[in-house]
Structure 1
Amino acid sequence: MKKAILITVLALGSDISVAQNQDFRVLNDQLIVKQGQVLIVDVNKYILASDIGVYAFGSTYTPNKNGRTFIGVDSEKVKPGLYVVYLVNMKDGSWVGSQSSQVEVLSGSLPVVRINKKSASSQVDSKRRAKESQLISGAYARGSKSEDFTDGDFIYPLKDLFITGPFGFRAYSNATFLHRGVDLRATAGTSVLAVNSGKVVLAKTNFSLEGNMVILDHGSGVFSIYMHLSRILVKEGQTVNKGQIIALSGNTGSSTGPHLHLAFKVSGTIVDPFGSIEVINKY
């Protein structure tokens, strides 16, 4: 006999902490999240263990040591609709507890920017790119899921913000791709700030597409990525503070002019940096 699941819908405006009789709680208002943003789930400490995970959108996610779980909602793979979230044993995939929550994913309504030329990615040497991809994947693998390195709310990486390229799709003459971040106007040499405290898991130069790049691990499976830099001011393994100058903006890699490309990766999924900062800071 299959185990019965209790669908729990929590009242809007109630305390955001997990009640003693709840295994977990979805924090997003009205249990709604948009494509390209972040679903936040708190697992009650009484049930929290190393083998407990949160199941959502066909995958299992690891809570940090405090029980908070950040889940990036993929803009392409997770379609608008209703999804059930519940706890699982990550060793065997079995349900844990008797509670679940139904969340609604709304369309991200991502813009499509048409560009009358071929994408730069189609012109990159495949062997070089494979080596670069291994370096980037290795950096993410060094990140911590259990620790939380953040210091309060996330901030923005530049003092003056002007978006020149939104998070959304770019339709080139040969293909359409997701623009996996936001482009921010910045003259060469502008100070780039760490959006929150964390550890440097990558600080390398001369990537074919990203140029000079820094990746910060904020813990809990959350990373911020800074591309096209003219100068890197931190080293791999270094701990940085929120607001610290980590680099200077530039025009390196596949770039048509000086700017900063900011990206966010949450639990393995690239999400809208600004939309996700807004959601994470709310809770």
Structure 2
Amino acid sequence: MKLKIKSFIALVLISTINLRAYANPEIKIYPESVKQGEQIFIELDTNESEQKLDNLLVEINDKYFPLINIGNHYKCFIAISPELKVGEYSVKILNQQKETIALKTINVTLTKTGSQNISYSSPILTKAQKEIIKQEDQLVEKAKFTFSEKQLWNKPFVLPVPHKVTALYGIKRYLNGKYNGYHTGVDFASPMGYAVKAINNGNIILAEYFSKYNSNGNLIYVDHGLGVGSVYLHLSKIVVKQGEYVKQGQIIGYIGSSGRSTGPHIHWGVYLNGQNTDGLGWTKLTNKLF
């Protein structure tokens, strides 16, 4: 009888610990009202949990994003697509069993974007040249989802160059009159050879002189940690190498017109967990948060 009682007590204690681990986690979202194409910051505090919660996910509109654990404190940055419809959306925190342990709503509001028509004569490519482009593009896609769980920065993000913006994030782009999707970054009209600087501390994931057939041109991709990355396109020269650690403000390359480009400029992009987002909005958000 004593053995049965002890077993029962042990079971109750284990159940209590599990309940405490999942009990009343506090979810914070900033901002709770966000424009299309901008970002939200999610924090989850598990209070006095005695047990670490592993593999937590954020679910928004049937898409999933990892919550990164720092002690019993969790963080996640999420890009709101410029094509997401205006309205209210549930933000769910899911445990390993895909059970909802916290729930909040956000309001997505309208961002008015213009359009841009680009005249460009696309070269006729051979099968071999198309294969080269495919392999290069795969490197970029892989880089977008390669990141450290450690936060590599400790201050707000800055711009890569100080020049005039010629194309905003999210504008509808037409190539020779045909819709070519929305603009996934921000273009700056910088002079040829001007120094491009890292927008924050990070690791160089990709630094490649791509073929002349690739629309991206020569590019650099930087991992800033916590799912945050930045990309710099159309460069004339690259002065960093893959695997190198760079600091905010460090020169990483120089303005060019490589790839699909009508003149010297830089296409700069910010990615959150592999999803593109408005870099200008991102710098503003980090100035408020950090």
The TM-score range, normalised by the shorter chain, is: 0.7 to 0.9
Corresponding residue of 2:181: 177
Residue 9 of structure 2 aligns with which residue? none
Matched residue, 2:13: none
The residue aligned with 2:41 is: 40
TM-score (norm 2): 0.81
Q: What are the superposed Cα offsets for residues 59-105 of structure 1, whole Å, 9 maximum, x if unpaired?
A: 121123332210011112x211100112102x432212xx4211100
Question: In the alignment, what sits opposite 1:165?
Answer: 167
1:63 and 1:119 mapped to 2: Cα distance? 44
AA in 2 matched with 1:34: K
The match for 2:229 among 218, 223, 232 is: 223
Return 5+ residue gaps in structure 1 as ranges.
1-19
One-letter identity of the residue aligned with 2:184? R
Matches within 5 A, 1:129-168: 129-144=133-148, 146-158=149-161, 160-167=162-169, 168=171
TM-fit CA distance, 1:220:
1.0
- Comparing 181-190 with 131-140, greater Cα deviation is found at 131-140
- When structure 1 is superposed on structure 2, of 241-250 and 62-71 the one drifting more is 62-71
What is the aligned residue count?
255
Change (3 A) 1:123 1:275: farther
How much is the aligned-residue C-alpha RMSD, in angstroms? Answer: 2.2
Q: Greater CA radius of gyration, 1 or 2?
A: 2
Shift of 1:106: 0.9
Deviation at 1:202, TM superposition (A): 0.3
The whole-number CA distance in structure 2 between the counterparts of 1:112 and 1:190 is 27
SS in 1 for 2:69: coil
Shift of 1:178: 1.0
- Residues 38 and 280, structure 1, Cα contact 8 Å, conserved in 2: no
TM-score, length of structure 1 as denominator length: 0.83
Q: Cα deviation per residue 1:147-169 (whole Å; 9 max; x = unaligned)?
A: 111131101111x2211122211
| Alpha carbons of structure 1 residues 92 and 27: separation in structure 2 relative to 1, 3 Å | same
- Residue 201 of structure 1 corresponds to 205
Contact 2:144–2:273 (8 Å) recurs in 1: no
Decide whether aligned partners of structure 1 residues 119 and 58 sit closer, same or farther in structure 2, where only a CA change above 3 A counts: farther
1:188-210 CA-partner distances (Å, limit 9, x unpaired): 11010100001000000125111
User: Could you list the runs of 4 or more consecutive aligned residues of structure 1 that deviate by over 3 angstroms after TM superposition?
Assistant: 45-48, 117-126
From the superposition, tell whether residues 256 and 123 of structure 1 become closer, same or farther in structure 2 (CA, over 3 Å).
Answer: farther
Deviation at 1:45, TM superposition (A): 4.6
- Greater helix content: 2
